[in-house]
Amino acid sequence: MNISKKGQILLFPPPELKDYLVVISAPIEIHNEIKKINDKLHKIIASKEKGRFKAHITLFNSAWEQDNHLLERLKKVISDANSFPVLINGVDIFSNGTKKKTVYLKIENPKPIQKLYEAFRTELKIKKEFTPHLTIEKNLPIADFEKIQNDLSSFNHQCEWVCDRITVLKFNKKTNSYKLVEEILLKNSEA
C-alpha cells in the first residue's frame, strides 16, 4: 500500500523519479590535463580510487519523472544564452562537515556561470546556493587531506575553454553511473 508523507492512502503509486545532473563539461584536452592532477592527488594519498573522474562544473542535480520534462524547461531557460569563456585558475577547498574536504579549481570569471545558474534556479525552483568550481576530489577524508594541505598550490591548473553547451546526464542505478541524455547547445556555438 502506498502512503503519502502525511499518512494518506494513495490510490496510485507515486511516479518513479530519476536523478539528473546538469553540468558544464570540460573539453577532452582540459579533462585530460585535470585528470593528471586528480591522479597525482590519488598517488600522494595512496588511494586506489581511480578511473571515475570527469572534469566538469556541476550546475545542479534534480529528480524528474521523464527526460523530456526536464529538457523542455532547460531549453526554455537557455534559449537566449550565449556561449561564454570559462577561465580556471587557483585551487581551494570546501569543508564537508568536520571529517571531509573537497579540493577544487576556482573559476576566475564566475559571472556567466552564476547568471546561467540563477536562470535555472528561478525556472526550476532550486533552493541550493551555488559557488561555481571544478572539483578535483570531493569528500576527501581529513587524514588524506592532511597529506596534501601543505602543498595545495601544486594542484593548481590554469586553463580556459569556451562553454558552448550544457550537458544533461541521468543516473543509472544498475551501473551506478551517469549516462548522457543530451547536450544542449548555447547560442553562437560552432557544434
- Residue type at 183 in one-letter notation: E
pLDDT value at position 190?
A: 63
- 93 phi/psi in degrees, rounded to 5: -135, 150
CA distance 40 to 138: 15
Which tops the pLDDT comparison, 145 or 189?
145
With a cut of 80, say whether residue 83 has pLDDT above it.
yes
Poorest-pLDDT segment among 26-35, 58-67, 131-140:
58-67
Across the strands, what pairs with 82?
Answer: 187
With a cut of 70, say whether residue 165 has pLDDT above it.
yes
| Burial group, residue 8, by CB count within 10 angstroms (0-12, 13-18, 19+) | exposed
With a cut of 70, say whether residue 2 has pLDDT above it.
no
CA distance 95 to 172: 28
Q: Where are the domains of the chain?
A: 18-185
Poorest-pLDDT segment among 50-54, 69-73, 163-167, 171-175:
50-54
CATH code for the structural domain at 18-185: 3.90.1140.10
